[in-house]
Chains A and B, each alone.
Chain A
């Protein structure tokens, strides 16, 4: 094993949404920060497929969001046989922001107070308003397209660029919402719609999930990372972390990782920060066993890996009898409906859900949708469907449940032999009732907008984009893994900053909130740096 001679102040593990924001913020404070990233850099100008004729096929292969199907060298396999939802992620500088759709809503104030308001789960140990300055800072750093004044949120700072265009398809579905008198709003998107911060405006090419070759989409490899590196942060790619070590006093001392040649290396640091997502972070903690921590690091509560929350999705698709030009513009249309977001005692479930509106499928995806028969009627059926569908992704608030969990699989490993995670997840009755309600109301909107055929998928399997709750934040060390600053209760100099620390999930995409938390935690560490570095 090679030991890196240089000890750093802060060692961050993971260069995705949270790791990038956190590293930038701490580097700005003058601390020596190093980040270890499992994947490599992607060059947007050459490595994305959207300029190739076969771009759609890459969704099935090297750009499949599911690492089990993608099977790149930098990925680790995940045993998801006991989960109806497959966890999705991307391993590269930028993490899953490389393949995300850039939805950028914040959690809402009520999401932080579910125990007080609805007597379920737990309140967060901090509020929306504690995070508000960090939401604003993060929006400025990422660049957010949106429209001010959404009545589903407290007033926000001005959005950086105008909202993503609605196009013909957006107008069609907005008319449906309008007829019912229900909330809809152009959702915040981390996409430049005009030039901002040295990056161009979106040219509405469509498939954001395949990476943005013009850098209009705000993945952190093109937002935070260039700025963090300029400030002196160090980023080591192709570094797969096996475990975190501790000394006799119980302090975290180093990370042991495999470098790009498969050589085992050890990096020492005063503070270690996990930013490896809601599956990767518990994987590292549970793999970091020692005589002092036989059940995994920072796991005296037994809650590392427990309370896994996805956002379960139902998909409702409306077919219209006119060409909606559905291939134009970012595939996630970025209209959001918050009409059913908050708890209503008259419903048979607690908490709520939102819809995101998705544009029509591209040509190959349309052909493969299961709605197009082969044979004589193939072309007619294709013509009736292509560019004429609107889809709602009904995103429900998943509640934390102890039996939904990430553990270490007894047999599965990555190519270097690091044990892989196993997912066990059961959709709760509350979530099922919530999604069923969502399917019903989404169907009403589709009808109001004039859909001639409406179909639905009650639970989308390839939808585990949001990985939360597996190292819960809280004030009681027996009932949580980290405190309100992401600091583990068991190990003073070990922090977690990704979606693992979410107490509850809300019913919107988590990235904006994950990054705001990362910045908030970075400022806390910065303010206490003298204490940490003197230990």
Chain B
């Protein structure tokens, strides 16, 4: 870890797996190194790093790792309301890491690859739906 202590990384791992639970072919965030990704992102953004370290420290003071899953979710819901800045950044960094992972992108039905260089095949579409528009005629206003 570049930024987070072991304790903070453990807490963050527990949190991100609650934010996005594993389901069928979609892995849990910790399985695809989301915590490491967030740690790396925080190492480049001092302001966000400070917010994360402070907030994770506060969560640790509430014995987060010793709580039951329901108690952890309850605590996070309270945090979402009381510490919006941290929580919105937490969600953004978690989603950033999760939804750019090839396993996840493949798991939601895409190829798992970035848009280039392959691109996609796109149908021309049904241009006969323009018939009514053409029949209606000129709508531009001639000054």
User: What is the interface of chain A, defined by CB distance below 8 A to chain B?
Assistant: 48, 50-57, 60, 108-110, 112-113, 116-117, 127, 147, 149, 151-154, 162, 164-168, 170-171, 174-175, 177-178, 181, 183-186, 202-207, 213-214, 323, 327-329, 338-339, 341-343, 363-364, 366-368, 374-376, 378-379, 382-383, 386-387
**B3-11, B57-65, B123-131: which lies at the A interface?**
B123-131
Q: Across the interface, which residues of A come within 8 angstroms of B96, CB to CB?
A: 54, 56-57, 60, 364
- Do the beta carbons of B140 and A152 come within 8 Å of each other? yes
Measured between beta carbons, the chain B residues less than 8 angstroms from A57 are 96, 100
Given A152-B140, A328-B120, A364-B95: A56 and B100 interface contact (C-beta under 8 Å): yes
**Given A55-B115, A214-B116, A328-B121, A154-B140 contact (CB < 8 Å):** yes
For residue A167, which residue of chain B has the nearest CB? B122
User: Given that A53-B100, A374-B91 are known contacts, is A327 also in contact with B110, CB under 8 Å in the complex?
Assistant: yes
Chain B residues in 8 Å Cβ range of A113: 143
- Interface bin, chain B: 35 or more
Q: How far is the CA of A203 from the CA of B122 in the complex (A)?
A: 8
Alpha-carbon distance between A384 and B64 when the two chains are bound, in angstroms: 32
Inter-chain contacts of A50 with B (CB < 8 A): 114-116
Q: Report A-chain residues with C-beta under 8 Å of the C-beta of B95.
A: 364, 367-368
Of A177, A183, A374, which contacts B139 at CB under 8 A? A183
Give every chain B residue within 8 A of A56 (Cβ-Cβ).
Answer: 96, 99-100
The answer to whether B120 touches A375, judged by C-beta atoms less than 8 angstroms apart, is no
Additional pairs, 8, CB under 8 Å, beyond known A53-B114, A205-B119: A110-B143, A117-B143, A171-B126, A175-B129, A183-B136, A214-B116, A328-B122, A386-B108
Contact A153 B140, CB 8 Å, known A171-B129, A203-B118, A382-B108: yes
Distance of A91 Cα from B45 Cα, bound (Å): 23
- A165 in contact with B116 (CB, 8 Å): no
Nearest opposing residue in chain B for A376, CB measure = B21
Which chain B residue has the least Cβ–Cβ distance from A216?
Answer: B119
Chain A residues, CB < 8 A from B123: 165-168, 171
Q: Mostly helix, strand, loop or mixed at chain A's interface?
A: loop
The listed residue (B18, B109, B115, B133) touching A151 by CB distance below 8 A is: B133
A149 to chain B: which residues have CB within 8 Å? 134
B2, CB-defined interface residue at 8 Å: no
Q: Which residue of A lies closest to B44 (CB)?
A: A61
The 7 A-B pairs with the shortest beta carbon distances in the complex, nearest first, are A166-B125, A203-B119, A205-B115, A113-B143, A165-B122, A328-B120, A364-B99
Q: A151-B136, A168-B123, A328-B122 are known contacts. Are A112 and B100 too (CB-CB below 8 A)? A: no
* B143 engages A109 (CB within 8 Å): yes
B residues 58-111 touching A (CB-CB < 8 Å)? 73, 91-92, 95-96, 98-102, 104-105, 108-110
**Contact B133 A185, beta carbon cutoff 8 Å:** yes
Which B residues are within 8 Å of any A CB, using their own CB?
18-21, 23-24, 26, 73, 91-92, 95-96, 98-102, 104-105, 108-110, 114-127, 129-130, 132-134, 136-143
Can you offer 14 A-B residue contacts whose CB atoms are under 8 A? Answer: A51-B116, A53-B102, A110-B142, A112-B143, A149-B134, A151-B136, A171-B123, A178-B129, A181-B136, A185-B130, A341-B139, A374-B20, A375-B18, A379-B23
Q: A379 CA to B104 CA in the complex, in Å? A: 11
A175 proximity list for chain B (CB < 8 A): 129
Please measure, in the bound complex, the distance between the C-alpha atom of A273 and the C-alpha atom of B106, giving whole angstroms.
Answer: 50
A174's partner among B104, B110, B129 (CB-CB below 8 A) is B129
A380 to chain B, nearest CB (A): 8
Minimum distance in angstroms from A222 CB to a CB of chain B? 15
A379 to B115, CA, bound (A): 22
CA A364 to CA B138, docked complex, whole Å: 42
Known: A110-B140, A339-B139, A364-B99. A166 touches B124 (CB 8 A): yes
**With contact pairs A167-B123, A205-B120, A376-B21 given, residues A151 and B140 touching in the complex (Cβ less than 8 Å):** yes
> Which residues from chain A contact B119 at a C-beta distance below 8 Å?
202-205
Do the beta carbons of A54 and B134 come within 8 Å of each other? no
Q: How far is the CA of A166 from the CA of B142 in the complex (A)?
A: 30
Across-interface contacts of A108 in B (CB, < 8 A): 140-141
When distances are taken between beta carbons in the complex, the residues of chain A under 8 Å from B92 are: 60, 368
In contact, B114 and A204 (Cβ under 8 angstroms): no
Give the distance to chain A from B140, nearest Cβ to Cβ, in Å: 5
Chain A, Cβ-Cβ closest to B119: A203
A116 with B143: in contact, given A51-B114, A184-B133, A375-B18 (CB under 8 Å)? yes
Q: How far is the CB of A430 from chain B (nearest CB, A)?
A: 18
In the bound complex, CA of A183 to CA of B138 (Å): 10
Query: In the assembly, what is the distance between CA of A113 and CA of B141, in Å?
Result: 10
Query: Which residue of chain A has the shortest Cβ distance to B95 in the bound complex?
Result: A367
Contact B108 A178 (CB under 8 A): no
User: How many Å from the CB of A48 to the closest CB on chain B?
Assistant: 8
Q: Would A204 and B122 count as touching, CB distance under 8 A?
A: yes
Cα-based distance from A185 to B132 in the complex (angstroms): 11
What distance in Å separates the Cβ of A214 from its nearest Cβ neighbour in chain B?
Answer: 7
Q: Give the distance to chain A from B134, nearest Cβ to Cβ, in Å.
A: 7
Query: How long is the Cα–Cα vector from A167 to B23 in the complex, in angstroms?
Result: 30
Cβ–Cβ < 8 Å partners of B73 in chain A: 375
Question: A374 CA to B20 CA in the complex, in Å?
Answer: 6
Q: Are A109 and B102 in contact (CB under 8 A)?
A: no
With both chains docked as a complex, state the minimum distance between the C-beta of B133 and any C-beta of chain A, in angstroms.
Answer: 5
Contact A329 B122 (CB under 8 A): yes
Q: A167-B123, A171-B126 given as contacts; is B114 within 8 A of A151 (CB)?
A: no
* Complex contact A178–B132 (CB within 8 A): yes
**Are the C-beta atoms of A206 and B120 separated by less than 8 Å?**
yes
Contact for A363 among B20, B23, B108, B140, CB less than 8 A: B108
